[in-house]
Chain A
Amino acid sequence: MPLLNSVYRQREAGKPLVTLDDYRAAGGYQALPKVLAEMDPDDLQYEFMRSGLRGRGGAGFPMGKKASFLPKDSQRPKYVVCNADESEPGTFKDREIMEFNPFQLLEGITLAGYAIGAVRGYIYIRGEYEHQARVLDRAVAEARAAGLLGTGLFKSTFDFDITVYRGAGAYICGEETALLESLEGKRGQPRLKPPFPAVAGLYHSPTLINNVETLAALPPIVEKGADWYAGLGTEKSPGTKIFCVSGHVMRPGNYEIVLGETTLRELIFVHAGGLRPGRRVKAVWVGGSSVPPLGEQHLDTPLDYEALAAAGTMLGSGGCIVMDDSGSVVRTTLRLVTFYRHESCGKCSPCREGTSWMEKLLQRIVDGQAGPDDLEMLKALFGRISGRTLCPLAEGAVGPVRTALELFPDDWADALENGVPVPEPMLPVSS
Chain B
Amino acid sequence: MADYARVDLDAENQVTFELNGRQVSAPAGTMLVDACYAHGVEVPIFCYEPRIGPPVGACRMCLVEVEGMRGLQTACSTPVRPDMVVRTDSPAAKDGQEGVLEILLMNHPLDCPVCDKGGECPLQDRSFKFGGGKSRFFEGKRHFPKPLELSSRIALDQERCISCFRCVRFSQEVAQDGQLTMQERGVQSQITTFSGDAYEDRFTGNIIDVCPVGALTSIPYRFVARPWDITNTPSVCGLCPVGCNTELTLRDGDVKRVTGRPDPNYEVEEGWLCDVGRWGFDGDGGITRLTRAIVRDANGERHTDLTDAVAAATVALRGASKPVGVLLGATATVEEAAIALELAGGALAGARVARLGIPAAPLAALRATPRAQLDEIERADLVAVVGGDPGLAQPITELRMRKAVLRNGARLVTIGSRPGTLADVATHVHAAPGALTAAVAELAAQIGATGRPVVLWDEAELAAEPAAAEALAEAVSANGATRQIELGADVNGAGLRALGIPATGLLEALEAGELGALLTVRADPRSAPGRVAWEAALEGDVPVVALATHADRTTDAATVVIPVQSLLEQEGTLVSMTGRAQRVRRGAEGPAGAAPGWEVLIALGHHLGAPPAYRTASAALAAAGGRYAGIEGLTYDAMGVGGVELPRPAADHLAADAGPARAAGSDGLALVATRDVYGGREASRAPALAAFHAPAAATVSPATAAALDVTDADTVTLTSPYGAASLPVRIVDGLSDDAVFVTLGTADAAAEALMPPDRGPVRVGVSVEARR
Contacts and interface: CB of A to CB of B under 8 A. Distances in A.
B182 interface: yes
A346 B60 contact: no
B185 A353 contact: no
Interface in B280-336: none
B163 A346 contact: yes
B99 interface: yes
Given A349-B58, A349-B59, A349-B104, A384 B189 contact: no
A370 to B, nearest CB: 10
B186 A350 contact: no
Interface stretch (A259-267, A337-345, A405-413): A337-345
Contacts of A350: 60, 99-100, 103
The residue in A346, A357, A364 that gathers the most chain B C-beta atoms within 10 A of its C-beta is: A346
A356 interface: yes
A347 interface: yes
A97 B58 CA distance: 36
B376 interface: no
B360 to A, nearest CB: 47
Interface in B162-216: 162-163, 165, 181-182, 184-189
A344 B186 contact: yes
Given A356-B142, A361-B139, A344 B187 contact: yes
A346 B107 contact: no
Interface in A126-175: 170, 172
A352 B57 contact: no
B136 interface: yes
Contact of A342 (B59, B100, B104, B186): B186
B104 A170 contact: no
B677 interface: no
Interface stretch (A15-23, A221-229, A289-297, A387-395): A387-395
B100 A192 contact: no
Nearest to B181: A187
A192 B77 contact: yes
B575 interface: no
A352 B163 contact: yes
A421 B277 CA distance: 62
A357 B137 contact: yes
A361 B137 CA distance: 9
Contacts of B100: 349-350, 384, 388
Category for how many chain A residues contact B: 20 to 34
B103 A357 contact: yes
Contacts of A354: 103
Contact of B187 (A356, A361, A385): A356
A353 B71 contact: no
Nearest to A390: B57
A24 interface: no
B448 interface: no
A347 to B, nearest CB: 5
A377 B102 CA distance: 13
Contacts of A377: 136
Interface in A324-347: 341-347
Contact of B185 (A345, A348, A364): A345
Contacts of B56: 192, 347
Nearest to B107: A353
A388 B63 contact: yes
Contacts of B70: 387
Contacts of A345: 185-186
B71 A387 contact: yes
Contacts of B96: 388
A28 to B, nearest CB: 39
Contact of B58 (A342, A343, A347, A357): A347
B1 interface: no
A342 B185 CA distance: 8
A355 interface: yes
B72 interface: yes
Contacts of A310: none
Nearest to A387: B71
Nearest to A360: B139
A349 B59 CA distance: 5
B406 interface: no
B220 interface: no
B531 to A, nearest CB: 51
Nearest to B172: A186
Interface in A349-393: 349-350, 352-357, 360-361, 364, 377, 380, 383-385, 387-390
B505 interface: no
Contacts of A341: 186-187
B664 interface: no
Contact of A349 (B71, B77, B136, B163): B163
A347 B163 CA distance: 7
Contact of B107 (A172, A348, A356): A356
Contacts of B59: 348-349
The residue in B104, B142, B181, B189 that gathers the most chain A C-beta atoms within 10 A of its C-beta is: B189
B55 interface: yes
Contact of B60 (A344, A356, A383, A389): A389
Interface string B66-95: 000011100001000000000000000001
B122 to A, nearest CB: 14
B15 interface: no
Nearest to A357: B106
A192 B57 contact: yes
A348 to B, nearest CB: 5
Contacts of B107: 353, 356
Interface string B266-282: 00000000000000000
Nearest to B101: A349
A57 B663 CA distance: 74
Nearest to B162: A349
B58 A390 contact: yes
Given A187-B181, A357-B106, A384-B102, A346 B139 contact: no
Contacts of A349: 58-61, 100, 103-104, 162-163
Contacts of A344: 185-187
A218 to B, nearest CB: 32
Given A192-B56, A344-B187, A388-B60, A353 B181 contact: no
B136 A380 contact: yes
B136 A346 contact: no
A350 B74 CA distance: 13
The residue in A354, A364, A377 that gathers the most chain B C-beta atoms within 10 A of its C-beta is: A354
Contacts of B106: 353, 356-357
Contacts of B102: 384
B187 A346 contact: yes
Contacts of A390: 57-58, 60
Nearest to B76: A192
Contacts of B77: 192
B109 to A, nearest CB: 14
Nearest to A391: B57
A5 B217 CA distance: 61
A288 to B, nearest CB: 19
A352 B181 contact: no
Nearest to B190: A346
Contacts of A342: 186
Contacts of B184: 346
Nearest to A389: B60
19 contacts: A170-B185, A172-B185, A187-B181, A342-B186, A343-B185, A348-B60, A349-B59, A350-B100, A352-B189, A354-B103, A356-B142, A357-B106, A357-B139, A360-B139, A361-B139, A384-B99, A384-B103, A387-B70, A390-B57
Interface of A: 170, 172, 187, 192, 341-350, 352-357, 360-361, 364, 377, 380, 383-385, 387-390
Interface of B: 55-61, 63, 70-72, 77, 95-96, 99-100, 102-104, 106-107, 136-137, 139-140, 142, 162-163, 165, 181-182, 184-189
In the A-B complex, list the 5 residue pairs whose CB atoms are closest, starting with the nearest. A346-B189, A384-B99, A360-B139, A344-B186, A387-B71
Given A348-B60, A356-B107, 4 more contacts: A343-B186, A348-B58, A350-B99, A380-B136
